[in-house]
Structures are given as C-alpha cells and as structure tokens.
Structure 1
Amino acid sequence: MFKPYEIFIGLRYTRAKRRNHFISFISLVSMAGIALGVMALITVISVMNGFEHELRSRILGMVAHVTVSGDGGVLRDWRATQREVKRESEVEASAPYVETEAMISFAGNANGVLLRGIDPAQEPGVAELTLNTSGTTLSALRPGEFGIILGRDLGQALGAKVGDKVTVLIPEVSAGPAGVLPRMKRFTVLGYFSAGMYEYDSALALVAIGDAQRLIRLQDDAVSGVRLRLTNLMQAPTVARRLGLQLPYLAVSDWTRQHVNFFRAVRTEKTVMFIILSLIVAVAAFNIISTLVMMVADKRADIAILRTMGATPGSVMGVFIVQGAVIGVIGTLLGLVSGVVLSLNIATLVPWLERVLHVSLWPTDVYYISTLPSQLEVGDVMNITGLALLLSLLATLYPAWHASRTDPAEALRYE
C-alpha cells in the first residue's frame, strides 16, 4: 500500500501551504493535544510510581514485615519464640517490642502517642530510623534511666527539647493513698527520630524495652511480641502463613494485612489516572479525524486526478494515512521528550514553584510525604508512546478510507 509517491504526497500535504488556513490550525491543535496528553501521562504516571515507591519504603521502614505477638498482646517466653522464627530462611532480623497507647504532655501541650519499647541492640535490624539529634543513638535508651526519643513532628508539637522532662500517661489506673490515679511517669527527652512520614513522626515515641515493661507492669520479662524483617518483603504473606502453622498458639500477621488496602488504592488511582489522561490523547486523535476529513474535502480534485492517472484506492488511502501519521508521530515525540524532561526534573521544579509562589504545595500534616517524588519507568513510557501512536494511526483510517472512495468523474464535474 505504501509506495514512495504516497509517502511523498502525504508529506507534501502535511507541510504545504494550504488555501484553507483553518485546516492548518486544526492540525497544529491535534499535534499539540497529542503532545500535551503524552507529556501529562508520562509525568503523572512517573509521579505515581515515585509516590508508591516512597510510601512503600517509608512505611515498611517503620512497620515490621511480619509480627508475632502473644495472646492478649503479651508474649512471655519471647526468646524461645525468637529462636523458633529465626529458623525460617527468609527471616533476616528480629527484635522484641512492647507497645501501648499513651498520652504525652509537656508545658501544657498534650498528644496521643504510640509508645514503643525497643531493644536498642536489635531494633536497627528491623526498623530504619534517622536520628536527627547530634550525638544521639538508640543505645542512649538504657533501662532504668527512663529516656525517650520522640518523633520529629511530635517533639515540635510539644515544644520539648533535648533534656526536657515529659510526662507519659497510659490508659490504666493505679490505686494509692491519694485514691485511683492514672499511671504516669516522667521521661527525659534524649533526641528525635525521623521516619520521613508524618504518620509516624507525629505519633510515635521510643523508650527502652525495660522501661516500657515497668510502665505497663509486664511480669516475667514479657513483651508484646517479636517484629521480623525479611530478605524479601513480598514473601511476607507466605512466611507469615508458615509461621502461623509452626506457632499455632501465637498471632502472626504481616505488613500486607495492615497496608494492603492502602497500596491497592494507590495502584487503582494510578490506573484511573492513566485512563483519564488517555482521554486527552483520544480527543487529539479525534482532531486528526477532523483535520483529515476537511483535507479530503479540500483535495477532492487532487484525489480525482490521482485516480485518473492510475492511482489505486489503496494508494489514496496511503497518502492520507501518511499525513495523519506524521501529525501523530511529531506530537508523540514532542510529548515524549517534554514528559521525560519534566519527570526527571520535577523534584527540582516543585521546590522552585514553592519559592516563587510562597506556598507549600505538599504540607506534611496533609500528605504522607513532604516532597513530590518521581520514578520514570521505561515500560510506562513505552506503553504511553505506543498508545498515542496507535490512536493516531487508528484516527487516520476512516478519513483515508473515505478519500479512497472518491469518484473521479463526480469530483471533476464542476472543476
């Protein structure tokens, strides 16, 4: 169907100066629409990829891949349990923990927190924490000294600085000479940690596991459970199932049970955004149809002359398919280049816009993360480019077919 003269005429129609300038304008609009759609698709999908990757790494940096806990939240012989779970080949590290809800107050400010008692020697193997106080390490949490490390945003909300004494209250009561009082204890702020997520930085406090046991009165060195980190986090459901069979008297859960709906929602949102933004490319493809239909009407005499010179209906189709394909290819390439450039530089562009506009586009108290990440994936770029080219090509078929059915005698009757 495609011979050199069809390509030549199709390219000539594309770049030639036409009598009807409105057709030229529609062609440019179609090209710009495809470029805009491809650019928006690549950028948005890259941001969604980066968003999902950042959330996954930050959430799973704080959440154990698998958690083994005792009946009623109390695990007594946790060392034996820890030895048992370490026999699993996928288990990379494990650490005991004590966890309870509490209220923390300082200088008239109060916040609800999740108080977690940890073993400073074993916890780094399970959780990824960034301590942002110079000279402070998890080893500073020593049992009996009642030190506490606060989330960065929690410390800012309380106004507590390193060395200050904060009061921790837990939802249990103690009977004493003064009557029934809530159980409380004063802790010394040793520093702050940053998980990179407001959810944790504003509502989590770390203490030594021995201090947490004394605070909630766990007997016989009992803990709440054991947190596990796996070599492959995607194997968490399988490992949890195996451990559940090995330890039927304990509760075994994995990260997918806690956050699977969240990540599923992110993935669904990515799919929906892809479909919605694909409509931009589809609208631009309809503009190609409009352009070629008007071009066919404008070139009826030329088509008739080609037919009388021996051109076949397939050759006529080829001329207009080439013309429409050129619009689609140029628009797609422009969108591809601009989308890739924007995706690779969006982490720089957003802070620049925030400085220029004097606004915070991603406040940490509203969004899970405070920056706009972007992760460009070759597979997504190829899918988007292929979709744009396919829609552009499909848009040429009807006008080209309509041109091939032009009757030479009828078209030249009034010329």
Structure 2
Amino acid sequence: MITRYERMIASRYLLPGRGEGFIFLVASISLIAVALGVAALIAVMSVMNGFRAELFDRILGLNGHAVIQGYGGQLADWAPLSTEVRKLPGVTKATPLIEQPLMASFDGRVQGILLRGMTIPDLMATKVITSNVKHGTLAGLVPGSNTVAIGARLAEALGAQVGDSISVISPDGQVTPFGAVPRIIAYRIVAIFEVGIYDYDKAFVVMPMANAQTLLRMGDSVGMIEVVTNDPDKVDAILAPIKGRVARSGVIASWRDTNASLFEALVVEKTVMFWVLSIIILVAVFNILSSLIMLVRAKTRDIAILRTMGATRIALMRIFMTVGTLIGGLGILLGLALGFSLLAWRADIVAGVSAVTGAQLWDPSVRFLTELPSKTDPAQVVGIVVLTLLMSFLATLFPAWKAASTDPVTVLRYE
C-alpha cells in the first residue's frame, strides 16, 4: 500500500514545478490521448454491437431462425409438416409463408418487390411489422379484399400512399397463341411500415395468405415454413430430427446459411477495429512513458534528497508508478464521459457532420439500417478500462525503476 507521504509527493509531481511546463504539457497530451482512445473504443464497439444486434433482431424477426423451403417453391403437405415441427423440443413457432419476387407498378413507375403472403394471425404476431406501421392500419388486410401493406422505401420509390392502388405483376399468367401474358392485379394500400432495414423496406409487399395463393395460382400450397426456436445458435440441432422427413418435399436453411457471410464480416470488422483503435491507447501510453522519464530526470536532485532522508527504493517506485497510473486513470474517466456523450448524441453528430460536409455519412442503402444503432456491452467497457489501466501501469515500471536506482551520493557529491 502507498503511504500518506508517498501520496503527497505523487500529487505534487502531477503539477508542474518551476521550469517543468514542457513535462506537464507532455503529460497533459498523454491524458488527452488516453481519453480519446478510450472514447473511440467505447463508441465504436457499442456501434458495432448495436449494428449486429439490430440486424440480427430485424432479419430474424422477419425470416425466423430457419425456413423449410419446398422444392419448386411449393410445399403441398405443409399442414402436417408444420404440426410436426411445432412438436419439436426448442421450437416456439412454425409459420407458413409465401415469398415470391415479382414486379409492382404505380403511376408509370415500376419496382421489383418481394411478395409475402401470411395468415392474418401470424401477421399480427410479427412484432417487427406491427410495431413499425407508419401510415394506415393492418386491420384493413382482409382475405379476398385485394389489400396490401408495403414498405416505406417502396412507397417512396413508387410515389404511392395509403389508399392508392398498385398493380402487382406476376409472370405466371395465361398462355395464349401469342405467348404467356403476365398476370396483373390491382391491390389497394392499407398500411405502410418501416422495419428499419433498407432492403426490406424497399421490397416488401405483405398480403393475406389466401390472396397470395390466388395471385400465384398455388391452390392450398405454401412456399415455406418459417421456424423460430428458443436458441438461434442451436437451430441445426433442434431441427435435426425432421431432416429426413423434410428431405422428401424440401430443404432446411438456417439463418447461418442465408446470412453467414454478413455476420462473419461484422465479427471480423469488429475485431480489426478494436485492435486498430487500441493503437491510440498504445501511443498515449508511450507518451506517459516519455513524460515520466523526463520527470525522473527533472527530479533527480529531489529523489536523491528523499533517499538521504530515508525513502526506500520501493517507496520511490510506488511514487512514480502512482503518478503514471493516475494520468492513465484520469484519462480513462475523461474517455468514459466523452465516449458515452458521443453515443448519446450520435444521431445529431452524424447529421451535423453530414450538413457541414454535404456528404451522407449514413446511407441506408449501403448500411442496411436506417439509423445509426448503439448497444453498450458492460463487459467490453470493463475490459477496455482494465486494458488501459494495465498498459498505463506497465508504462510506469521503467521510469520508476530508474528513479529507484538513483545514487544519492553521485547526485549530491558537488551540492
């Protein structure tokens, strides 16, 4: 433990003495560098965590943890199969779906869409859609009424609003002597939703299951069964018992199969960003090292006097180790405050920088999400603090050892 007089001397050495302004400047730069490194790490790691969590929740909220896709895009025996799937331990939901890429037009504009047919109870249970309705109401989706709900970005691209009728174009139409004629049916928009993922908001058109079956001439068949489990990481093991049963009519694709490259890229990017930003802290630690070396040289006479007054080598080491660790600790506190402030005002900061530079820093068409997300992991914050403290402490060892090695006889010989 550090004694009272050692704390007093360490606190005196933190403030500049006569002719020590440059040393104080270097120490201040070290403190600010530590703060910037900690703030950058906390902000970037939180944004990366939030990005992954938002993508995971929204993508899996729409697509489930796995899908059982029928051969040729149709599952004729979906009802008994979905019953078997629901009985599997670990399965919480098995939802029949129809998904088909088609075209939609309105007022001369044409866009590619992803048609999704769902039963009304299943649609109302999909919180990603029901909790993000921006205009209109999903209550207007009634089987047989030719009504749809569409994504917000698709509505913008088509220039359509609630109450307008869009034409959905299916290539599977009637065959005439002159060739196949596309099937075109008008549907009235009753709701516009925004789930927050640009690609989905730009393409999704949701309608009742019966309407989708009629449009695509599927009879009583569905396209797939969406499966939700209580543990996404164990989805393959949970669905393993029905692989043989499914193989006769379709295939099983888990979220890893469909989004593996995206989530693996996020993990790699997060790891690389952590180590790259850690270089800022490493530079700050070298500044602490250099400032302590200069402080030891400047205090050589004081160190010799302390030695002659009875101060031990260990006491001198503790004094300079305390000085360096305090610089790192103060930098960490400042960095925590700065990092959490950046996260709290991240949307305003992005908007302000975009307005000043004229560049769109957060383009939803590139970033998938419409807003900059954030999710702070307390364990990561503790790890960043511990890492920075440890590096600051290690930087004090050499200067402290040099101070403790000072020979008072040599220093005071000509005093």
TM-score normalised to structure 2 length: 0.90
> After the TM superposition, which residues 15-414 of structure 1 pair with which residues of structure 2 at under 5 Å, given as runs?
15-126=15-126, 128-129=128-129, 130-134=132-136, 136-137=137-138, 140-143=141-144, 145-172=145-172, 174-219=174-219, 221-249=220-248, 250-347=250-347, 350=350, 361-414=361-414
Residues 110-147 of structure 1: CA deviation (Å, up to 9, x unaligned): 1111112222233333563133333x32562413x333
Residues 5/161 of structure 1: CA separation in 2 closer, same or farther (3 Å cut) = closer
Counterparts of 1:233 and 1:252 in 2: how far apart (Å)? 14
CA contact 1:149–1:205 (8 Å) conserved in 2: yes
CA contact 2:68–2:246 (8 Å) conserved in 1: no
CA contact 1:67–1:228 (8 Å) conserved in 2: yes
> After the TM superposition, which residues 1-16 of structure 1 pair with which residues of structure 2 at under 5 Å, given as runs?
2-16=2-16
Whichever residue aligns with residue 142 of structure 1, its letter is: P
Counterparts of 1:199 and 1:284 in 2: how far apart (Å)? 42
Whichever residue aligns with residue 224 of structure 2, its letter is: G
Residues 177-228 of structure 1: CA deviation (Å, up to 9, x unaligned): 5543334333333332222211111011122323322333324x11112112
Partner secondary structure for residue 123 of structure 1: helix
Residues 339/161 of structure 1: CA separation in 2 closer, same or farther (3 Å cut) = closer
CA contact 1:126–1:227 (8 Å) conserved in 2: no
Q: Cα distance, 1:93 vs. partner?
A: 2.5
Whichever residue aligns with residue 197 of structure 1, its letter is: I
Query: Aligned residues: percent identity?
Result: 37
Partner secondary structure for residue 182 of structure 2: strand
Q: State the Cα RMSD in Å.
A: 2.5
Counterparts of 1:410 and 1:245 in 2: how far apart (Å)? 86
Residues 227/400 of structure 1: CA separation in 2 closer, same or farther (3 Å cut) = same
Q: Return 5+ residue gaps in structure 2 as ranges.
A: none
CA contact 1:91–1:231 (8 Å) conserved in 2: yes
Residues 258-302 of structure 1: CA deviation (Å, up to 9, x unaligned): 123222222322222221221111111100111011111112222
Counterparts of 2:9 and 2:106 in 1: how far apart (Å)? 80
Aligned pairs, number: 412
CA contact 1:7–1:318 (8 Å) conserved in 2: no
Partner secondary structure for residue 229 of structure 1: strand
Counterparts of 2:228 and 2:124 in 1: how far apart (Å)? 10
CA contact 2:148–2:190 (8 Å) conserved in 1: yes
Whichever residue aligns with residue 73 of structure 1, its letter is: G
Which range moved further: 121-130 or 316-325? Answer: 121-130
Counterparts of 2:328 and 2:179 in 1: how far apart (Å)? 81
CA contact 1:85–1:243 (8 Å) conserved in 2: yes
Q: Return 5+ residue gaps in structure 1 as ranges.
A: none
